Amino acid sequence: MSRSLKKTLFAAASAITAVTLTGGAVAFCGFYVGKADTKLFNKASKVAIMRDGNRTVMTMANDFQGELTEFATVIPVPVVLQEEQIHVTENAILDHLDAYTAPRLVEYFDEDPCVMYQRREMAMMPQAAMTLGSADKMRKKDSLGVTVEAEYTVGEYDIQILLADQSDGLATWLKQNGYKLPDGTEKVLASYIKQGTKFFVAKVNLEEQTATGLKYLRPLQIAFESPKFMLPIRLGTLNADGKQELFAFMLTRTGRVETTNYRTVKLPTGVDIPVYVKNDFGSFYKSMFEQQVEKENERAVFLEYAWDMNWCDPCAADPLSQDELRELGVYWVGGGGDKPGILPRRPMPQARDVYVTRLHISYDADHFPEDLMFKETNDRSNYQGRYVLRHAYKGDAQCDAAEQYRASLPKRFESEAQTLANLTGWDIDDIRDDMNETGQSFEEPKKDSWWKRLWGNDAKEG
């Protein structure tokens, strides 16, 4: 199989597809200065899942690279999908969701330490803590046990919904219809068939694709009801070339989404790191993420963002509009909810009632042998992967507080260096050298004698 064929993945991404055609918490402050979006990672796939009760809308971004004639995907689905349950959307919406939830870099600038000291002296009363409100065709080959339950053309895709009685029959049917299967496919197919799973097969309709005028494939969406809240990833590991990166964006009414069969781990956040990292935040984030994956024995799902979509602080991008959210399946925004058993509500202006969770999974077959199973929680506390640069005050402040401030900087810089080394595995001496070159010196400043500030001596020196 060619390298381009091995990259065929569709959406949940490298995650879901298995077949190719033969052929080639608190309110944060600070200035937002950078983000770690999915473009940092190779072989990265994105899927957005709206979940409300048993209702599910899955939006799958395609990262296929190669000739369109070679593209095809097979996705296990719990029900036979009708044509109205399948849709094609635009990449820009998932790109927006990615940018909005991406881990971010923020920076602060220290104030004049003398002014800070005066302000503390004047602040005699404690401040109140701020809180923010939060047409079916049935064709069966008896010898193979495969039924084509439905066929549609949706956008630029030809779609079939398959039922199968046995994995070897399904595998044979796929091969007879021009697919080449990676080793191990039949075993995985058998486990899905045993559960009564159907199979969603999509191929590119070249005529329809040409009519779009686009040079890329748009995301496919499917809507269905199922008591299982899950994402099938096992088929995608069969023809994967190394580890895959999956970004799952969950949209719910309730709160944060977690995996139930793998540990969900929050990434380190809110830590101070050296200011020179601003010039290469991408390298820092990739190294930090790799360290965390290794620390968790390559078997964890990582939380990168969890927040009520009504606000963010700071925002790496504007919150999604109501139209964008509805396109992703969030049917209750902009028109009141038709959730079973609940009366429609009149939405408040700009209120979205949507909680978004961003999960990042670096996986392969050895460490993720099961599909991802999820659960909704009632936890609506805010979390974001957030990394802080603190610029030291450079002015000529003259007071006892300023002397104490300057004397404290080497210790603070060393703490930042140690934090960066622990997070990334980078050499601590290299980090110190880079910090010194960018003005974060580890040398303690010389302390003036106290009498130099008597009788106007400091003025005489000027």
The domain locations on the chain are 3-121+136-388, 395-461
pLDDT for the residue numbered 31:
64
pLDDT of residue 462: 52
Collect all residues with Cβ–Cβ distance below 8 Å to 180 and sequence separation of at least 6: 1, 5, 19, 20, 21, 22
Identify the pLDDT of residue 5. Answer: 32
- Residue 251 structure tokens: 């949209």
Token match 């509805």: residue?
A: 326
Residue ranges of the chain whose pLDDT lies below 70: 1-32, 63-66, 70, 116-143, 239-240, 313-314, 335-352, 445-462
Give the three-state DSSP class for 138: coil
Strand partners, 47: 60, 248
Please, what is the end-to-end C-alpha distance for the chain in angstroms? Answer: 76
Report the pLDDT value the prediction gives residue 120, as an integer from 0 to 100: 52
Which pLDDT does position 340 carry in this prediction?
A: 39
Burial class (CB in 10 A: 0-12, 13-18, 19+), 460: exposed
Q: What's the pLDDT score for residue 129?
A: 40
Q: Scanning the structure block, which residue is given the tokens 């104490």?
A: 404
| Residue 227: per-residue pLDDT | 95
> Residue 255's pLDDT is what?
94
- Per-residue pLDDT, 1: 37
Per the CB < 8 A criterion, the answer to whether 410 and 442 are in contact is yes
pLDDT value of position 24:
30
Report pLDDT for 132: 36
The per-residue pLDDT for 168 is: 82
Per residue in 280-338, pLDDT tens? 999 999 999 999 999 999 999 999 999 998 777 667 788 899 999 999 999 998 754 44
**Residue 48 β-bridge partners:** 59, 249
| pTM score of the predicted model | 0.81
